[in-house]
């Protein structure tokens, strides 16, 4: 089991492109506010669901994996635990943020699909495979990500996932890389 990072990146980029086109249509008055909100939710749900295909060997999701996915979607959409999509849309509608700020925040919601894929993969990890965290292809990293990449290989259930507990959050470019157990004598 592993994560097909290129597929996940492609799906996210496609969803971001759809979102930006939707925003442009909204700014031009081609769609109503009600339709705009509904389509934003469709793009988010669609990406989160489609992103599950990036989990290698994940032909179908178990009941527990579906629960994790639905919980993640609900966390993004509805008020309760954090800053929800509903609240961001209301901020825009009330004039508190610009369309540019709205777009930037919506992109972050889409980028968070990656963390959900890792969480579902964590549920699936029954083989006790080991992973290390690798820095993304940039020269700017937060202190937390630098510290996490210095950690030894860990099981997926124990490792801190990219975008989790770091200042980068949804913009985190770190990756998890599976390492063979025999690469580290103490893991055998």
Q: Are residues 70 and 112 in the same domain?
A: yes
The predicted structure's pLDDT at residue 114: 85
Q: Are residues 17 and 75 in the same domain?
A: yes
Q: Are residues 50 and 136 in the same domain?
A: no
How far, in Å, CA of 104 to CA of 110, rounded? Answer: 10
The predicted structure's pLDDT at residue 178: 79
CB count, 10 Å around CB of 5? 14
Q: Are residues 82 and 117 in the same domain?
A: yes
User: Where among 121, 151, 177 does a domain terminate?
Assistant: 121
User: Where among 72, 94, 121 does a domain terminate?
Assistant: 121
Q: Are residues 117 and 148 in the same domain?
A: no
pTM of the model: 0.74
Q: How many structural domains does the chain have? A: 2
The strand order across the sheet containing 175-179 reads 154-155, 130-134, 175-179
Mean pLDDT of the chain: 83
| Range 46-68 average pLDDT | 80
Q: Are residues 134 and 91 in the same domain?
A: no
Q: Are residues 114 and 150 in the same domain?
A: no
Task: Identify the top-confidence range among 30-39, 50-59, 142-151.
Answer: 30-39
How far, in Å, CA of 169 to CA of 4, rounded? Answer: 20
Q: Are residues 136 and 65 in the same domain?
A: no
The predicted structure's pLDDT at residue 40: 93
Q: Are residues 73 and 48 in the same domain?
A: yes
Q: Are 45 and 96 in contact (CB under 8 A)?
A: no
Query: Band of the pLDDT at 181, cuts 50, 70, 90?
Result: low
Q: Are residues 179 and 132 in the same domain?
A: yes
User: Where among 121, 143, 162 does a domain terminate?
Assistant: 121
Per-residue b/e over 90-129, b at no fewer than 16 CB within 10 Å? eebeeeebeeeebbebbbebbbbbbbbbbbbbbbbbeeee
Q: Are residues 74 and 139 in the same domain?
A: no
* Domain around 38: 5-121
Q: Are residues 88 and 155 in the same domain?
A: no
Give residue-wise pLDDT tens across range 99-128: 999 999 899 889 888 888 887 877 776 556
Please spell the DSSP secondary structure of 137-185, one letter per residue.
SSS---HHHHHHHTSPPEETTTSPPTTSSSTTGGG---EEEEE-GGGSG
């Amino acid at each position: 089991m592993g994560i097909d990072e290129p597929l996940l990146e492609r799906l996210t980029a496609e969803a971001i492109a759809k979102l930006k086109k939707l925003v442009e249509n909204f700014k031009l008055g081609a769609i109503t506010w009600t339709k705009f909100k509904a389509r934003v939710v469709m793009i988010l749900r669609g990406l989160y669901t489609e992103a599950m295909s990036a989990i290698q060997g994940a032909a179908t999701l178990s009941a527990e994996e579906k629960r994790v996915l639905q919980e993640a979607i609900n966390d993004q959409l509805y008020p309760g635990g954090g800053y929800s999509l509903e609240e961001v849309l209301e901020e825009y509608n009330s004039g508190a943020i610009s369309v540019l700020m709205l777009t930037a925040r919506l992109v972050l919601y889409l980028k968070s699909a990656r963390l959900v894929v890792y969480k579902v993969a964590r549920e699936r990890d029954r083989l006790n495979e080991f992973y290390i965290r690798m820095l993304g292809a940039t020269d700017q990293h937060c202190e937390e990500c630098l510290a996490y990449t210095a950690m030894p290989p860990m099981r997926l259930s124990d490792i801190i996932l990219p975008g989790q507990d770091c200042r980068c959050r949804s913009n985190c470019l770190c990756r998890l890389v599976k390492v063979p157990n025999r690469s580290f004598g103490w893991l055998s």
